Structure 1
Amino acid sequence: MDPALLAAAAGLGLGLSLIVAIGAQNAFVLRQGLRMEHVVAVVLVCALSDAVLIVAGVGGAGAVVTRAPEVVQVVCFAGAAFLLVYGLMAARRVFRPAALLPESGGARAGLAVTITTCLALTWLNPHVYLDTVVLLGSLASTYDDQRWWFAAGATLGSVLWFTGLGFGARLLRPVFARPTAWRVLDAVIAVVMVSLAASLAVRGLHGG
């Protein structure tokens, strides 16, 4: 098999293995997909953000990040604060499920608010940097001249995942026609967000 294709396949596999996990980004994309609100914009923001971070990591930014623990520490605390607030908002929605159903009178979020939230959930999460910039960047370096094929594969994995999650979520809408299903989803989101916030705060206290 061609070395370039092998590198791309490895990048695709590793990229998917890192991104296919419940987290801040995925929970937000899923929720937007279920509500069918600004899905194209959300998918583009997530995929393009990952592409930029992957390219930065393969280009050597990972080494810079690991040498600047104070920067990671600041991002940890900022991310923890944002995720805590978002988690508390999800917990509050558990007791107001009707507000989640647009056809039941729930207000739609504006495009600017949606994009801003998506950017914050992406760029204020240090785990994103660790996965894309540091880990993928480090592993890409082992492929020498084929490292950019590795990056292309990882980027493709991100595009495929967010596109499938965002646009495939609507298939679950019959399930989420019931308020109870929204309660469960937002309860899970709240637990995930608060847990991530706690882990980031602990990481920040230990110097990143």
Structure 2
Amino acid sequence: MDARQSAPKHGARPRTERDIRAERAASLARRSAAAAGPEIGIDHLVCACGSERYGIPLAAVAQVLPMRPCTPMPGAVPALLGLIALSGRIVGVVGLARALGRPEAPPEGESGGGHLVVLRGGQPQSVALAVDRVLGIAAAPGPSAAGIAEDADPAGLGNAAASGYAPASARDGRPDFVVVDLPRLLRRVLP
């Protein structure tokens, strides 16, 4: 029998050296992922809205800009602060705190502090989230298997727009924050 093939099982094709290497590589990958365990996480842009912190998946963020004046839309949902022109397109600005049913920070006068977190395409509309300030980037565990039920908060948005909680980590200086479920939040806020 050829040295590169092992004895075939009844009715199976013979395993080649390539098959054995592929199996070994897959086994090593599983072992290293298991060793990394809960340390592997998804990067989030951590933002402050009032005294609370929220994490937006970094993969969904296109850019962060200083807050700018919005053109209000009569009859819009309360969470939609207005529209802005950005790079030749119209972008809807959603107040994150307002969309989550949380208290908003008091206005800082006409200068309008804060940031706009412009979300990547893939949404039905171009959308930016208005936040008080961007704090940085932190990793959080992926979505939990338990999840949060869609109808957990039928009257408002609060809990139903969150997909988890990332507790603070003293070891790496990560703050605690609530992970925002963007598709669920936008589905409930935008018509």
TM range (shorter): under 0.3
TM-score after normalising by structure 2: 0.21
Q: Give 1 or 2 for the bigger CA radius of gyration.
A: 2
Write 1 or 2 for the structure with the bigger share of helix.
Answer: 1
TM-score after normalising by structure 1: 0.20
Q: Which has the higher contact order (CA 8 A, sep 6+)?
A: 1
